[in-house]
Amino acid sequence: LIKWLAKFLHTFPLQEEVQDGKNKRQVRCQRCPSTILSPGTAVYKQVEFPLPHMKKDSSPMKGSEEELIKDYWLVEDMYSFENVGFSHSVGGVKYLACADCEVGPIGWFDTAAKISYVALSRVLHGHG
């Protein structure tokens, strides 16, 4: 049960990615070579938020269709993004995806607060 729970509450190797509270390295898409954020443009923030799974699993034993993620890059200005797409509003949030290959959701946008959150576990860090 602990191993099962641990994969849903994934903790990222923060010392490698955070410097002065911000993203130390470039943030990139997992699927294509697109840059999502340049170094130093987002602030590390812990907030628990359930994101829909990136890959659909048709197995009836899968359980939840969401993954509870707690490590995010907080982006206050949507123009800080190099390359990101926004979904239509769904219950007060818009989901974020790579604008080039449309993989996602990689995070979410709070429509009331006008703040974006990119899940550290759903992107790559550094140069390819």
> Would you say 84 and 34 are in contact if contact means Cβ atoms under 8 Å apart?
no
Rounded Cα distance, 72 and 121, in Å: 8
Q: Residue 62's pLDDT band (boundaries 50, 70, 90)?
A: low
CA 8 to chain centroid, in Å, comes to 14
Give residue-wise pLDDT tens across range 35-51.
999 999 999 999 999 99
Rounded Cα distance, 35 and 29, in Å: 6
- 106 φψ region: left (φ > 0), alpha (ψ -120 to 50), beta (else): alpha
> What was the pLDDT predicted at 127?
73
Chain position carrying tokens 């290959």: 101
For the chain, give the percent of residues with pLDDT over 90: 71
pTM above 0.85, yes or no: no
